[in-house]
Structure 1
Amino acid sequence: MGGSGSMISPMDVRGLVPTSMKFALMMPLLGALLAGCGGGAKNDTFDLSVSPAPVTQAPSLKSRQLLIAEPTALKALDSENIVVRLSNSEVQYLANSQWSDRLPRMVQSKLVEAFQDTGRLGGVGRPGQGLAIDYQVVTDIRAFEIDTKNNVANIEISVQLLNDRNGTVRAQNVFRASTRVSGTGNANLVKALDSAFAAASREIVAWTLKAL
């Protein structure tokens, strides 16, 4: 993970910038854009880690094959930008930092890895890999952000377990995880997000295996 100082680039995705703040926000944003065009310093790039789900004495699921669909997400989350929430109506992006891929693709990849690492299933894959699928894990990323007011990283992901044979929903749940930010700098902000995602993904995997 990179270790540059913590900075937040102004970008109110909802366009709700008070008139008195427009000029103050416009100048740093313009500066950031010009720095990007002029070949300034590259962004620190961050990845997410996978945390193994708890091992339980459960029946084998080797006869089941699971497809992990790419999560849906609002536009603010559907990019390589790292989201910082300033209030209920305003979010910005963490400056000089980015995810290694679009966030939904990263979450999909890490969930595939987490399910595969359990060794419990006959197969785990993503669309286009030709697996004969029994169930789909369909997710929506509702929150994946740093809350500056409370100094915590918050993640919320809704999950549906869909029977691929008949299209019925076998089970559904919403998973939330929060981790307090410790220290300063962008690396510590992302570390808190990574920790919260690890907790949420463990719960998602354990819940899904139980529901199967």
Structure 2
Amino acid sequence: MIRSLVLLTVVSGCSALTALNDVSTPLDVYELRAPVDIQATTRRQLPRDVIIELPSTSGALATDRIMIRPNALQAQYLPEVRWSDATPVMVQTLMLRSVEATGAVRYVGRQPLASHGDFAVVTELVDFQAELNADTQTATVQLKLIVRVIRESDAKIVASKTFRASAPSASTETQILVEAFNAASTVLFSEFAGWLPSALSP
């Protein structure tokens, strides 16, 4: 698997935990890339048009800042860095590109080609953060995405599944943490895109 972590500007040094910086401060930008080697549950392309809707999430994740939790009740953000998009938008993009990589459906997009698609993928982003370990020098990235597939013709939920992935980070430095995000997201979106065709099958 080709490493798919992209830094869009120069990387800053070590990152201590902090709250949101002043909005005028230039921030280094990180982007996660979708996996490409995905084993779909079908070998043929399905004649389906699929809409990936923007995930719903909590206010703490509805930002482009990279979240890290010192404990279960506290949310902080890495200083001087951000994701390339707000987290829900980035997740939607990763879902789209992962499904496209399988070649398993006729069309997948954010908007339908006609008045509506055949199916809508509605998701809730529950976790997309790094959690500090007890030693406070290392962390574990935790991702959780609840997925529901809805048939547009009758608004029926035809399939649902919760996807989870985690990855250890040997340091709380930004580069190491983002590499752990990349590892966990590769697992999660590979599993999602591999599962989706079976959810769309008759």
TM bin, normalised by shorter chain, reads 0.7 to 0.9
1:107-151 CA deviation, whole Å, 9 max, x = no partner?
A: 111111111111111111112654741111111110000101261
Q: For residue 4 of structure 1, what is the amino acid of its counterpart?
A: G
1:22-76 CA deviation, whole Å, 9 max, x = no partner?
A: xxxxxxxxxx54xx55xx5x21100111113533572523311110000011110
Aligned length: 187
Counterpart residue number, 1:47: 31
CA distance in 2, matches of 1:208, 1:194: 21
SS at match of 2:150: strand
Between structures 1 and 2, the one with greater strand share:
2
Q: For residue 158 of structure 1, what is the amino acid of its counterpart?
A: I
Counterpart residue number, 1:118: 102
Counterpart residue number, 1:15: none
Matched, 1:201 2:189: yes
Which of 170, 175, 191 matches 2:163? 175
Deviating 4+ runs (over 4 angstroms): none
Structure 1 position 101, deviation (Å): 0.9
Matched, 1:107 2:107: no
**Structure 2 residues not aligned, in runs of 5+:** 1-6
TM-score (norm 2): 0.85
* Overall identity of the aligned pairs, in %: 24
**Residues 175 and 204 of structure 1 are in contact (CA less than 8 Å); yes or no, is this contact kept in structure 2?**
yes
**Residues 40 and 104 of structure 2 are in contact (CA less than 8 Å); yes or no, is this contact kept in structure 1?**
no
CA distance in 1, matches of 2:162, 2:40: 22
Q: Which moved more, 1:100-109 or 1:45-54?
A: 45-54
**Structure 1 residues not aligned, in runs of 5+:** 12-31
TM-score (norm 1): 0.81
**Residues 18 and 79 of structure 2 are in contact (CA less than 8 Å); yes or no, is this contact kept in structure 1?**
yes
CA distance in 2, matches of 1:83, 1:129: 35
Alignment of 1:1-212 (within 5 A): 1=7, 2-10=11-19, 32-33=21-22, 37=24, 40=25, 42-52=26-36, 54-56=38-40, 58-127=42-111, 129-130=113-114, 132-149=116-133, 151-212=139-200
Q: 1:51 to 1:183 in 2, by over 3 A?
A: same
Q: Tell me how large the CA RMSD over aligned residues is.
A: 2.0
For the pair shown, which has the larger CA radius of gyration, 1 or 2?
1
Q: Which moved more, 1:58-67 or 1:199-208?
A: 58-67
**Residues 40 and 197 of structure 2 are in contact (CA less than 8 Å); yes or no, is this contact kept in structure 1?**
no
SS at match of 1:143: strand
Between structures 1 and 2, the one with greater helix share:
1
Q: For residue 196 of structure 1, what is the amino acid of its counterpart?
A: A
CA distance in 2, matches of 1:61, 1:131: 22
